[in-house]
Structure 1
Amino acid sequence: MHFGLMNETQLIDINLNNNQLTGQISNSLFNLKNLEFLDLSENYLKGIVEFDEFVMLKYLTFWDISGKELLLLTKETNANATRQDFIGLGFSSCNLSKFSNFLRNQHELKYLNLSNNKIHGQVPEWMWNTSTTNLEILDLSNNFLIGFGQHSVFLPWISLEFLDLSSNLIQGSLPIPPVFTLFFHISNNPLTRNIPELFCNLSSLRVLDSANNNLSGSLPRCLDNFGVVLSVLDLRRNKFQGSIPESWIKGGNLVLINLRENKCQGHLPRSLAKCTMLKALDLRDNQFIDIFPFWFGHLSNFEVLILRSNKFNGPVWTPQTYLKFPNMRIFDISYNDFMGKLPLRLFENWKIRKFEKVHPFTYNHENSYFVIQKGSHMWIFLTLILTL
Structure 2
Amino acid sequence: MGLLPKSLFKLTHLITLDLSHNMLSGVLPLWLFTLPSLESISLFDNMFNGNVPLEMFSLQSLKELNLANNQLDGEINVLDQCPILQTFRQLTNLTSLDLSFNSFSGEWELDTLLSSLTNLVALTLSYSGLFVTTNGATRYVNPDFNTLSLASCKIKVFPESLRAMENLIFLNLSSNDIQGPVPDWEGR
Q: TM-score range by the shorter chain?
A: 0.7 to 0.9
Q: Is 2:85 the partner of 1:79?
A: yes
Whose helix fraction is larger, Structure 1's or Structure 2's?
Answer: 2
- State the secondary structure of the residue aligned to 1:9: coil
TM-score by length of 1: 0.41
Cα distance in 1, alignment partners of residues 125 and 184 from structure 2:
20
Contact 1:118–1:144 (Cα < 8 Å) also in 2: no
RCO comparison, higher one (Cα < 8 Å, 6+): 2
The reply to whether residue 146 of structure 1 matches residue 131 of structure 2 is no
Alignment RMSD, CA only? 2.8
How much does 1:72 deviate? 4.9
The correspondence for 1:105, drawn from 116, 127, 134, is 116
1:13 CA drift (Å): 0.1
Would you say the 8 A contact 1:80–1:105 is kept in 2?
Answer: no
Larger radius of gyration: 1
SS in 2 for 1:54: helix
Q: Per the alignment, in what secondary structure is the counterpart of residue 146 of structure 1?
A: coil
Following the alignment from structure 1 to structure 2, what is the Cα–Cα distance between the partners of residues 132 and 112? 12
Cα distance, 1:156 vs structure 2:
2.3
TM-score (norm. length: structure 2):
0.78
What is the CA–CA distance in structure 1 between the aligned matches of 2:130 and 2:65, rounded to whole Å?
20
Query: 6, 16, 21: which one pairs with 1:18?
Result: 21
> AA paired with 2:134?
V
Matched, 1:173 2:181: yes
1:131 to 131, 134, 141: 141
- Please report how far the alpha carbon of residue 155 of structure 1 lies from its aligned counterpart in structure 2 after TM superposition: 3.0
> CA–CA distance in 2 between the matches of 1:97 and 1:30?
22
Number of residue equivalences: 175
Cα distance in 2 for residues equivalent to 1:86 and 1:121: 19
Consecutive unaligned residues of structure 1, counting only runs of 5 or more, are: 178-197, 202-388
2:167 aligned residue: 159
Q: Distance in 2 between matches of 1:132 and 1:28?
A: 31
Contact conserved, 1:106 with 1:130, CA < 8 A, in 2? Answer: no
Give the residue type in structure 2 aligned to 1:147.
Answer: V
Contact 1:137 1:160 in 2 (8 A): yes
1:49-88 alignment to 2 at 5 Å? 49-50=52-53, 52-74=54-76, 76-81=82-87, 82-83=89-90, 84-88=92-96
2:72 alignment partner, SS class: strand
Using the aligned pairs only, state the percent identity: 25
The one-letter amino acid of 1:53's match is E
* 1:65 maps to amino acid: L
CA distance in 2, matches of 1:65, 1:98: 18
Contact 1:155 1:176 survives alignment (8 Å): no
Instruction: Give deviations 1:206-239, integer Å, cap 9, x for gaps.
Output: xxxxxxxxxxxxxxxxxxxxxxxxxxxxxxxxxx
Residue aligned with 1:95, SS: strand
> Once the 2 structures are TM-superposed, how far is the Cα of residue 116 of structure 1 from its aligned partner?
0.4
- The residue type equivalent to 1:88 in the other structure is S
